Structure formats: C-alpha cells, structure tokens
Amino acid sequence: MGIINTICVVIPTFNESENISALVSELFGLPLNDLNILVVDDNSPDGTGQIADELSKEYPDHISVIHRSKKGGLGSAYIAGFHKALGIGTDAVVQMDADFSHPPEKILELTEMLVESDVAIGSRYIPGGSLDEQWPFWRKSLSAFGNMYAKTILRLPINDATGGFRAWRRETLLGMPLDRVRSNGYAFQVEMIYLASRLGYSIIEVPFYFADRRWGSSKMSHKIQFEAAHRVWQMLYEYRDLKTAAKSKPDSLIM
C-alpha cells in the first residue's frame, strides 16, 4: 500500500447552516498535513450551500462544493462525493456528518488505522464506544436493534454496521462497484460495508462517543428506517456474484 499524504473529508449537507462553518474550523484545526474538504449540498433552503461557497473562497485550495439541484438522499450524495474525491487524487476519503455527531478529532485515529486496514469505521458498539447519554431508552434500543439486524442477516464481521463515520483508502473505493450501490438512506452505510466485507477488504473499528446533533433537526424518518430493513435482504441477492479479492498487507505509515 502507498503512503497516505492527502485526506479528503466528504460532508453531505441539507439544512446545516448552523453547523458547517464551525465544523470546517475544527477540521482545519487538526494536525494534518494536507486536508481537503468536499461539501455535497442538496440545495439546502437555509443557505448551507452559499455558506459553503463562501468558505471555499476563503480556502480555495482546500474546500470544494458540489451543488445538487434537489434533496437526492444520503447515498447518492456520498457516491458523488467519492467520485469527486477520487478524481482529484486524494489518498484517503473520510465520510462524516455535518452535525458534530462525529467528533472531528477522531479523524486522526481513523486515518492512522488505515496503516493496518483498508477501511476504518467509527464504532459505537465496541468497548469505549457509546451513544448520546441523553437519548431515551427506546431510541438507543432502536439503534442497537437496527444495527444487530443488519449485522446478523449479512453476517458482517463488525459490531457497527450502520454508522456513517468512516475512513477509506483510495484503493479500496476504487476496487468497489460504486455504480451498483442503490441505497439512498441510512441503508447506504450498511451496503457499503457489506460490499467491503464481500470483497475481502480488511475492516477495523475505532470506538467513539456518538453525540446528538448540536443544532438543527435530525434527518431520520420512518421511510428511511423501512428502506434500511428492506434493503438488507435485497443486498444478499444483488451481491451474490461478488468474490473475495486477495489483499496485501499494509507496509506504510500515515504521514
């Protein structure tokens, strides 16, 4: 595996005007040599896209923005972001939410773990990881059940299949059939990690505390939950043709 010099953080947004500037500030405060940020905005009516444009003028060499004409869903936003990030030649791609549910400082540990793995995922369900302390019992139970549901049916070798805080090596994403990914809600996270597992990519989990969003409203809905439950079974059939690819041991360090 080659040395990782550049990292691109892909952030899908819809109505995140209260968060995006603060998040960018924290990301650029990290001790990373070459960090790029790609915002994928779904025509947010609250002006998130315009704020991202202003930030890109302030950091023209490190921030870029994809404007989509309508709210197209989490999955397609990430796929568009992945293709853009790979096109500019980044060595690693980080995916994260804009609402501070994913702690920016954990990106350091996630990318360091790419020395040992093809993908590193932030995990709420291993020792050291946890969910927001203020969440009611029913919400924590629903989250845990949805994760266990996907993990059990797809026989995934990880504990957090539904989380969206991840770091991917460039070679990993290039080796995955991104054009076949159809999930467009939170099932997208399950589909991507299932693909990685089916193809034999090595996956490592990093514990983190999943905090509730600081500002704004959640995008979760019953429709999204239904899609996730239904899509898990479709994935079993759609990817039955995939075979494990031989993987080499990493031999380099994150710089």
Pick from 56, 59, 95, 62: nearest CA to 79: 95
> How much is the average pLDDT of 150-167?
94
Within-domain flag for 226? yes
Domain count, the chain: 1
Of 97-106, 219-228, 238-247, the range with the highest mean pLDDT is 97-106
**Count of Cβ atoms closer than 10 Å to residue 233 Cβ:** 11
pLDDT for 117-137, tens place per residue? 999 999 999 999 988 777 787
pTM: 0.88
CA dihedral 75, 78, 80, 86 (to 10 degrees): -140
> How much is the average pLDDT of 8-24?
97
216-220, 241-245, 246-250: segment of lowest average pLDDT: 246-250
Within-domain flag for 28? yes
SS3 63: strand
Within-domain flag for 247? no
Within-domain flag for 54? yes
Confidence of residue 252 (pLDDT cuts 50, 70, 90): very low
pLDDT at 221: 46
Within-domain flag for 75? yes
How far, in Å, CA of 219 to CA of 88, rounded? Answer: 29
pLDDT at 127: 95
**Count of Cβ atoms closer than 10 Å to residue 248 Cβ:** 8
Pick from 92, 119, 96: nearest CA to 205: 119
CATH code of residue 211: 3.90.550.10
pLDDT for 205-223, tens place per residue? 999 999 875 544 554 444 5
Confidence of residue 253 (pLDDT cuts 50, 70, 90): very low
- Beta pairing partners, 40: 12, 66
Q: In 111-236, at which residue ranges do the beta strands (DSSP E only) sit?
A: 119-123, 130-131, 166-169, 203-207, 209-210
Within-domain flag for 216? yes
Pick from 113, 95, 96: nearest CA to 19: 96
Q: Percent of the chain beyond pLDDT 90?
A: 70
Within-domain flag for 87? yes
> How much is the average pLDDT of 188-195?
96
Q: What is the Cα Rg of the chain in Å?
A: 17
Within-domain flag for 95? yes
Confidence of residue 231 (pLDDT cuts 50, 70, 90): confident
- Its domain, for residue 74, covers 7-238
